Amino acid sequence: MLKFLLCKTNLGHKWHVESNEDGDRYRRCTRCGKYDDRDSDGRWPVPGLG
């Protein structure tokens, strides 16, 4: 229950690296299924700087 709550509040995901059919890699939480929305070099995107 605590792990589910951590995912819902974005405080504690359990990330797993996966790849799509094109070979691109991405991270997805194994508990809740959320995708990591950072860009490929690991930095958070900055809104408005596109």
Report the SS3 class of residue 38: coil
Amino acid identity, residue 43? R
pLDDT of residue 40: 57
First to last CA, the chain: 38
pLDDT of residue 49: 42
Residue keyed to tokens 């991405």? 26
Amino acid identity, residue 5? L
Average pLDDT per run of 10 along the chain, which is 50 residues long? 82 86 85 79 48
* Per-domain residue ranges of the chain: 1-38
**Tokens in use for 15?**
């990330």
Rg (CA), the chain: 13
